[in-house]
Amino acid sequence: MERIKTDILVIGAGSGGLSVAAGAAQMGARVVLLERGEMGGDCLNYGCVPSKALIAAAHHAQAMRDGAPYGVAAAEPQVDYAAAQDHVAQAIARIAPNDSQERFEGLGVRVIREEGRFLSETEVQAGDHVITARRIVLATGSSPFVPPVPGLDGVPYLTNETLWQLRERPEHLLIVGGGPIGLEMAQAHRRLGSRVTVIEAETALGREDPEMAAIVLERLRAEGVEILEQTAAREVRGSAGAIEVETADGAVHRGSHLLVAVGRRPNVDGLDLDKAGIETTKAGVTVDSALRTTNRRVLAVGDVAGQGQFTHLAGYHGGLIVRSTVLGLPVRTKPQIIPRATYTRPELAHVGLSEAEARAEYGDRLEVIREAYQHNDRAIAERQTAGLVKVMIHRGKPVGATIAGAQAGELIGTWALALSAGLKMSQIAGMVAPYPTLGELNKRVAGTYFTPRLFQNDMVKTAVRLVQRWLP
């Protein structure tokens, strides 16, 4: 048994863990990194990267169908599903070296490809190694949650971890779960030629602003995705190629493949957290605003920290941990500045407070500005006018923003910066956006906010008349 002493032990080589390991090692700390599975974690191997690659393939297929309004003859695409999956694999392979064991060892990180479990508050065993660390960082991520639906364990089903192994296009894909993962894969497979039925026990995109979610759902239904809401799966039966999902209303939905996409659960099993005095909830490890667990020598980042399941959130957490564990600086998480995006077409993105949350907090002191895509010249030129920007403003500062429409995930960056930096609407108004771009929508929101203050204000008009009287 090898005994290792180190400054920082990181358990998990996903986005959060790699951010901590790279930052700490390059700043001179001794770092040991444990990873039982693939380097790069869920995002690289099963989540963000492969899903966006498949969405890109589906976009090209759909473009062939939608060419007529642009003067290009519409044609039904000849989809090679295996080649589309090859594109997914190639995208992963191209990014993988950045997350590889070789790269991190080159940075000075000791990488051990074993599962870790706590022996005490400061010791972790990984295979034939016992590691003692001044600080331990849990970055174990999350895994697909499989609900206890009767019969599910007896039929072949897919999750986001196994979907990428398919080589033949599903004839009819049944998807249990109408959240971001379920709907992204629903639209992608519909565009690639599959029939798709989404079965959602509550409301599709239920976490999002209903007004904005409706824009996305309308487009998916228009493309032929069947979305059943308030429809819980009661029983699953069948065999490969012939799956049946019976819902609570007694209806039976038949398909060739089944994708389970009802959410994710934190990876805490097998860590023996109780031996380290670390408390957990269903959401994950219990942490304070500095990401410290109930064992103050142990911190948690990313999905397992229970504050959200986004790669960029894990990276943000990782940066905070480097500041606190390497430099000894005080840190505090700011959940309100973390954006999220669903990469359907149109996209749906959000940061800060929703309209409902902002109204509950600020009441009649809140202003909500809406700017429709249909008034944007670039959106008109590209026939992408189905969309809306909604910004919640309190005392001249944005407190939340939601965007449904083309490139919403890119456009939300302006409002994420505004919330992070505490910008005022006057500073957004002072920004110059290139013409013609969708980015002008954000600038126009600021213009709409100031219009009644400048052009419908008697005091302003009186002041202007006085100034004009005295100007030479």
Residue ranges of the annotated binding site for NAD(+) are 177-184, 200, 263
Closest CA to 348 of 400, 378, 399, 387: 387
> Hey, CA dihedral for 246, 251, 254, 257, is it positive or negative?
negative
Rounded Cα gap, residues 469 and 472, in angstroms: 8
Query: And the tokens for 301?
Result: 């980042």
Closest CA to 217 of 181, 187, 173, 252: 187
Query: And the tokens for 122?
Result: 């400061």
Cross-strand bridge partners of residue 246: 235, 252
Rounded Cα gap, residues 86 and 405, in angstroms: 29
Closest CA to 341 of 410, 387, 399, 391: 410
Can you tell me whether residue 181 is helix, strand or coil?
Answer: helix
CB 262 within 8 A of CB 147: yes
CB 301 within 8 A of CB 331: no
DSSP track, 222-260? HTT-EEE-S--EEEEEEETTEEEEEETTS-EEEESEEEE
Give how far Cα 375 sits from Cα of 105, 218, 442, Å.
Answer: 52, 20, 12
Cross-strand bridge partners of residue 285: 280
Rounded Cα gap, residues 372 and 37, in angstroms: 45
Query: And the tokens for 142?
Result: 């999350």
Closest CA to 18 of 52, 50, 47, 41: 41
Closest CA to 343 of 401, 402, 410, 390: 410
Binding region for FAD: 52, 116, 140-142, 303
Give how far Cα 443 sits from Cα of 367, 418, 457, Å.
Answer: 17, 12, 21
Rounded Cα gap, residues 296 and 276, in angstroms: 10
CB 380 within 8 A of CB 70: no
Binding region: 52, 116, 140-142, 177-184, 200, 263, 303
Closest CA to 116 of 286, 304, 326: 304
